[in-house]
Each structure stands twice: as structure tokens, then as C-alpha cells.
Amino acid sequence: MMADKGILVVVSGFSGAGKGTLMKRLLEKYDNYALSVSATTRAPRPGEEHGREYFFHTKQEFEELILQDALIEYAQYVDNYYGTPKAYVEKQLNAGKDVILEIEIQGALKVKEKMPETLLLFVTPPSAQELKRRLINRGTESLEVIESRLARAAEEAEGMPKYDYILINDEIEECVDTMHSIIQSQHDTVKNRESFIEKMTEEVAVFKKGEEV
């Protein structure tokens, strides 16, 4: 039997909400997830590798990907381009994997428009103070970058109502488990159970006709 298609999940959230750790734990703890690796023009942070955290490109290379229609969506975020490569996502969904895109809000809304069945999750710390504390403690960005990311958070907060679920990341393991159960419950929506419904309907129709099963 062919595997049902996977669920496309978009995870957004404030910079510093702990999305990276959340994704890492989700993939360590549960099977059947594929994390899409985005393309970006921003410089790698210490420890980041090409092809693992991101595909790092020059602006010219990135614009080439746009022209080739190789991205599902792309957006500009604090002076850099970020985009989702199309081929990998389609391949994994067709193989029945639940594919996670960790992208910002403009991209999230573009994906939802193109593929309305996409599940949109928004991750947030329990408070604004905690958000600031986490960004500063990460220690990977200059004060200037931190300030622009906090300013951006105010805009991003306005997008929260457009998401399907809000995940409050207070205790990481709890948040990972909640996220997993939300995604898994999507497999049981009527839309995603169409082939089962069809099969079951045909099978029970036999009872009505009084035929043997």
C-alpha cells in the first residue's frame, strides 16, 4: 500500500523562542519527521555547517534559485534572504514523512496560501522579558542585531492570530510532546483520512446489501 502523504508543518516564532532546540528534540525523540533545510544569504554562525543548518548562498546565487522557481517561498528578514527549497519538501511529503519548515511569518503565510492544508504553529516564550533574556543569553548576536530582532518581535506578535496553534515554550520536553501530539492528530482529520473513509464506506455498503463480507 502506498504511504499516505505526510503533513506539512510550519513552525514560526520569535527569534529566541527556542525553536532550534525544540526542533532538535522533536527529531531526536520521535520518528517520521523530516526537517527542511533552508537557503539563506546570512553568514553562518559559529558551529553552523553548509547543508545542515542552512544552505549558505551569496545574494546572486539566491536570486538564481528564485529565477529557477526552486523555492516554495522566500522572504527577506533583517537584511537577508531566506527560502525553502521545493524539491526536498515534495520528496519527503510523498514518502509519507511529516515535514517541518522553520520559517518566519511572511513565508508561513505564503506557504499556507499555496498549500492550505499546511499546519501553522507559532512558538513563544511565556513572556516578553523571557524572550529578551533568552536572546541575550544565546550570545551569538551583537546588541544591534538583538535590538532589531526584538523590534521585529513586535510586528510578529500581530501575526499570531493567523496561526493554527500557539505553543508556549516554558518547559522544553513538555513543549516537544505537545507539538508532537498536535501534529499527529492532524493525520486523523477528515481531510487526511479521505482514503480510509472511502474504503470503509465501500466495505460497510456490503452489509446493507446483505452480501457476505
| Euclidean distance between CA atoms 142 and 140, whole angstroms | 7
Does 169 engage in binding with ligand 5GP (CB under 6 A)? Answer: no
| Least separation in angstroms between CB 169 and ligand 5GP | 14
Closest residue to ligand 5GP in the complex (CB): 107
| Euclidean distance between CA atoms 6 and 187, whole angstroms | 8
Q: Binders of ligand 5GP among 57-116, rule CB under 6 A?
A: 73, 75, 77, 82-84, 102-104, 106-107
| Euclidean distance between CA atoms 25 and 41, whole angstroms | 26
- Choice between 98 and 102, CB closer to ligand 5GP: 102
Does 125 engage in binding with ligand 5GP (CB under 6 A)? Answer: no
Contact criterion met (CB below 8 Å) for 110 and 104: no
Number of residues written out for the chain = 213
> What string of H, E and C letters represents the secondary structure of 77-95?
ECCEEEEEEHHHHHHHHHC
- Choice between 139 and 210, CB closer to ligand 5GP: 139
Residues near ligand 5GP (CB under 6 A) are 15, 38, 42, 73, 75, 77, 82-84, 102-104, 106-107
